[in-house]
Amino acid sequence: MKKTGAQILCESLVKEGVEVIFGILGGSVLPIYDTLPQYPQLRHILVRHEQAAAHAADGYARITHRAGVCLATSGPGATNLVTGIANAYMDSVPLVAITGQVASPFIGKDAFQEIDITGITLPVVKHSYLVTDPADLAGVVKEAFFIAQTGRPGPVLIDIPRDVQVNEAEFVCPDKVNLPGYKLKPRVNAAQIIRAAELINAAERPVVIGGRGIIISQAYQEFREFVEKSQIPVVTTLLGIGSFPENHVLSFGMLGMHGMAYANMAVQNADLIIAIGMRFDDRATGDTSTFAPKARILHIDIDPAEIGKNLCVDIPIVGDIKNVLTTLNKRIDIKEHVAWISQINQWKHEYPLVDDREDAGLLPQYVIRRIYELTEGKAIMVTGVGQNQMWAAQHFQYVEPNSFVSSGGLGTMGFELPAAMGVKIAVPDSVVWSIAGDGGFQMTIQEMATISQEDIAIKIAIINNTALGMVRQWQELFYRRRYVDTLLWNPDFVKVSEAYGIPALKVTRKAEVVPAIHSALDHSGPFLIDFNVEREENVYPMIAPGAGLSSILTLPKVSKDSSF
């Protein structure tokens, strides 16, 4: 039976198991929107800006491990998606972005709202399609989901001209994809496994660095078995948070620029680094020439191009983390590293994370810690980038798998609000907190309307220091406290929230924190709290940009007003 391109698209999405589409309309997607009501299985969430559609689909995908879908019109609709697509690309998130395009005869004519979106997105997609015939659509959609969701996941763009949406073709759902150039899950090299096991068994001061690859591969069990059998202390990358329970005796927090001092010290003193599903990002390694100077490096990743990209490794293993660890676990010895672990515990004792100071006013660390306590650590925390992100990473103890959703690689302000929408829609029974800075919140603030309209019951915490906090911190530390355009005038966020129909509270003192969080949690719908925290509070510990992981800056003992 013949169907229109729009119908073929919708049928194909249903076949892929899509339940939610995040999008906003425009001229070049009208045929798709006109067709949507025929497919009630496809829930459409109407966002207020296309960037939010991509971030929401991103959040949804991180939690479900299935491709999130976003939909936008041609031209500005499509370009507005780009930040969201890039964000998903950097963090290896499966995403299928569908854009309308002007009708085929107008392509290349600079027609109204025409833009070469497949060209613009080229460096930030895993793959992309410009569909020229409705008969190709079913195959393209199947390939797009397959590519987005397999191997190292990533975003795939499908650009569909208006006439392709309208014209009819026979709907034939292909039963398999034909991708001769797409290499999947390489067979794990047995010899490398044996060499790796030898290295692991012989190591005296080994450290595991857990990355997001463990979460993508859902290898929580295998990872835990590996760690417990070998008794190797674990640190994680920012996006590796949620790969291993942080209340475990072998968990030593996050490494990197704002990692725990003891995590970085463990790495710098290790004789073996076992890097699993991570990519040696500069925020994690600091200066690579001084990174883990005493260690051999074993790198396990599904992407062969990550091996040796940022630093030389001694033993690479390319493969899906779950498969690799299953094989490796059979080869490693039951070990103990009592002296080594007690050494790291000693560092942890000497350089603890502190979530409050008596002489201080309302500290952001204090806020995060109370959210942790009052949710009993069961919440999913969603952050954008900056100080709020680092405090959320440091002061909430992540025990549940995949409970931290954050913009890591791209570092996108404003990710937190729409991504939290996507997360909440994926797991409506979970408590979802969007942790925003006052700067980032205003980058996607318009989604408050979406949240209200769809009654998405997320809890929003604005860590409001009336500044672009992380940049202000850098200006303080590296530009002699010359605050150029980092201090913000803000609207009354409580009134703003109420105007959007979302109840809200302002918190200015420590004593108000717990009652406010209770109010948010007790309320069945969305709720916002504007935490007015100390303006010049900094994130510590810190490794200065470009420095090595051994150069740890901590809270200065001197008064903040003294110049340095």
Partner 1 sequence: MLAVKHTLVALVEDKPGVLNRISSLFRRRNFNIDSIAVGSSEQPGFSRMTVVVRGDSAEVEQVRKQLDKLVNVVRVSDITYVAIVTRELALIKVKATAATRSEIAQIIDIFRANIIDVAANSLTIEVTGNEEKVDSLIKLLRGFGIREVVRTGRVALTRGNA
Question: What is the binding site for partner 1 (CB under 8 A)?
Answer: 118-119, 122-123, 126-127, 130, 147, 179-183, 303-305, 307-309
- Smallest gap from Cβ 180 to partner 1, in A, equals 5
If the CB atoms of residues 179 and 194 are measured against partner 1, the closer one turns out to be 179
Outline where DSSP puts E strands in 24-134: 43-46, 68-72, 95-101, 127-130
Q: How many CA atoms lie within 13 A of 88 on its CB side?
A: 39
Distance between alpha carbon 433 and the CA centroid of its chain, in Å? 14
- Smallest gap from Cβ 307 to partner 1, in A, equals 8
Q: Which of 99, 117, 114 is nearest to 160 (CA)?
A: 99
If the CB atoms of residues 127 and 560 are measured against partner 1, the closer one turns out to be 127
- Smallest gap from Cβ 300 to partner 1, in A, equals 16
Q: Which residues pair with 144 in a beta bridge?
A: none
- Smallest gap from Cβ 136 to partner 1, in A, equals 11
If the CB atoms of residues 307 and 547 are measured against partner 1, the closer one turns out to be 307
Q: Give the Cα separation of 51 and 70 in Å (integer).
A: 9
- Smallest gap from Cβ 498 to partner 1, in A, equals 46
If the CB atoms of residues 194 and 305 are measured against partner 1, the closer one turns out to be 305
- Smallest gap from Cβ 130 to partner 1, in A, equals 7
If the CB atoms of residues 91 and 537 are measured against partner 1, the closer one turns out to be 91
Query: Do 549 and 257 contact (CB within 8 A), yes or no?
Result: no
If the CB atoms of residues 148 and 448 are measured against partner 1, the closer one turns out to be 148
- Smallest gap from Cβ 155 to partner 1, in A, equals 13
Burial of 19 from C-beta contacts in 10 A (0-12 / 13-18 / 19+):
middle
If the CB atoms of residues 144 and 419 are measured against partner 1, the closer one turns out to be 144
- Smallest gap from Cβ 108 to partner 1, in A, equals 13
- Smallest gap from Cβ 457 to partner 1, in A, equals 39
If the CB atoms of residues 304 and 503 are measured against partner 1, the closer one turns out to be 304
Burial of 555 from C-beta contacts in 10 A (0-12 / 13-18 / 19+):
middle
If the CB atoms of residues 30 and 307 are measured against partner 1, the closer one turns out to be 307
Q: Which residues contact 353 (CB under 8 A, 6 or more apart)?
A: 253, 260, 365, 394, 395
Q: Which residues contact 172 (CB under 8 A, 6 or more apart)?
A: 138
Query: Do 133 and 169 contact (CB within 8 A), yes or no?
Result: yes
- Smallest gap from Cβ 27 to partner 1, in A, equals 25
Distance between alpha carbon 281 and the CA centroid of its chain, in Å? 14
If the CB atoms of residues 183 and 509 are measured against partner 1, the closer one turns out to be 183
- Smallest gap from Cβ 151 to partner 1, in A, equals 9
Q: How far is CA 405 from CA 58, 88, 259, 419, 462, in A?
A: 10, 12, 17, 8, 16
If the CB atoms of residues 34 and 116 are measured against partner 1, the closer one turns out to be 116
Q: Which of 473, 190, 193, 512 is nearest to 332 (CA)?
A: 193
Query: Do 94 and 67 contact (CB within 8 A), yes or no?
Result: yes
Q: Which residues contact 456 (CB under 8 A, 6 or more apart)?
A: 421, 424, 425, 450, 526
If the CB atoms of residues 168 and 281 are measured against partner 1, the closer one turns out to be 281
- Smallest gap from Cβ 182 to partner 1, in A, equals 5
Residue whose structure tokens are 């991570």: 278
Q: Which amino acid is at 373?
A: E
Query: Do 73 and 101 contact (CB within 8 A), yes or no?
Result: no
If the CB atoms of residues 104 and 397 are measured against partner 1, the closer one turns out to be 104
Burial of 184 from C-beta contacts in 10 A (0-12 / 13-18 / 19+):
exposed
Distance between alpha carbon 209 and the CA centroid of its chain, in Å? 17
DSSP conformational letter for 358: T
**Residue 210, SS3 per DSSP:** strand
- Smallest gap from Cβ 122 to partner 1, in A, equals 5
